[in-house]
Amino acid sequence: MKLERITLTHVRIPLLEPFRISNGEVSEKDAILVRVEAGGIAGTGEASPMAGTFYSDDTPASVWKYLTERLIPAAFAAKAVSVASINRVLDRTGGSPFARAGLETAFWDLEARAAGTPLYQSLGGYNIPLESGLAVGITKGIPALIATIEKYLAEGYKRVKIKIEPGWDVGPLAEIRQRFGDIPLMVDANGAYGREDIPHLRLLDSFGLAMIEQPLPRNDLKGHAELQAAVKTPVCLDEGAEDAAAVRKAIRMKSCRIVNIKIQRVGGLANARAIHDICAEAGIPVWAGTMPELGIGAAQTLHLATLPGFAYPTDVESSARWFLDDVIEPLITVCGGKISIPAGAGNCYEPSVRAIDRFRVAERVFVP
């Protein structure tokens, strides 16, 4: 095959409700769709940074710039047409993991479609229904939190995750346990606490949580090790599990007992699978997190989550949970708390021309 064309499309879709974590709040979802064409076949990936510095230093503007100025010219120069060849380009170029993920995952879709096989098969997984977990941001008061959980639990989600920060942790958790009993429950702090908060975080042991996700800053693996030694609840790394080297170090330091894998954070599916394999060898369970991405990125997360080391419900939810619309057909749906990947090749979900046209912010086409 010959690399014929790469198209970037920036879309922005309103959220049905604002999403707030300890780092800030967003009301719209930006994504950059990456369409790669070779040999008459097209593959689609998604670069899915949040606006501002909500989650990382990558933003829609910086990712667009890096793709247009660095990664796409490098892909054409190398005449990349496969997952292996594009990863060689990305390894040489380095830089923005979100931009890398958008381009790299498009090549995974392209390669799987060329073979006529679903993406999970290329990754080494199996088509099994995947348990979906409900994620709830920080709300304006406990009654709003309880109402949101109650509304969406009716759809059968297999666990509840709430965002926490200092001053918003013990109180909400106590109310959730009183209202919903022993439902599977976890918390995510997005690095909002410090080592000085370890005595307070020990209070979370009393709530029977599945895990405490990223309680301390991203680069504080030593602090996470101290916390894990002080609490019974498993500590899960998210932002701190930024690449294979960081995960190996965290395992060696006993900084966590669970790892969240996000395709965007680690720069693509090959890196995500490598981290899965490292954790599996060490006996560390993993699970598939989200930004949340729009449908292309979410679908690829589902394929990744079919690998055997993924032991907890994914954060991928129904398309209608967060977004006014989505960029795929069919939409992702949760039935009985599970998501089933449809039959097909590659992502197994098709880009929705209608939705992409409606929510397009910018588009640019590149040719050799």
CA distance 202 to 207: 10
Nearest Cα neighbor of 19 from 48, 50, 40, 44 is 50
Q: State in Å, rounded, how far the first CA of the chain is from the last one.
A: 14
Tell how far CA 103 is from the center of its chain.
16
User: Which three-class secondary structure state does DSSP give residue 69?
Assistant: helix
Check 29, 163, 232, 254 and give the catalytic one.
163
* Active-site annotation holder among 29, 158, 161, 262: 262
What residues contact 245, with CB distance under 8 A and at least 6 apart? none
* C-beta separation of 56 from 266 below 8 A: no
Question: What does the angle CA 190 – CA 192 – CA 195 come to, to the nearest 5 degrees?
Answer: 120
- Phi then psi dihedrals of residue 134, to 5 deg: -85, 130
Rounded Cα–Cα distance for residues 234 and 238 (Å): 13
Element (H, E) at 46: strand 41-47
Query: Is 151 among the catalytic positions?
Result: no
Contact yes or no for 52/25 (Cβ under 8 A): no
Amino acid found at 3: L
CA atoms of 87 and 106, how far apart (whole Å)? 12
Rounded to an integer, what distance in angstroms lies between the CA atom of residue 84 and that of residue 71?
15
- To the query of whether residue 163 is one of the catalytic residues in this protein, the response is yes
How far is the C-alpha of 274 from the C-alpha of 243, rounded, in Å?
9
Please list the active-site residues: 163, 262
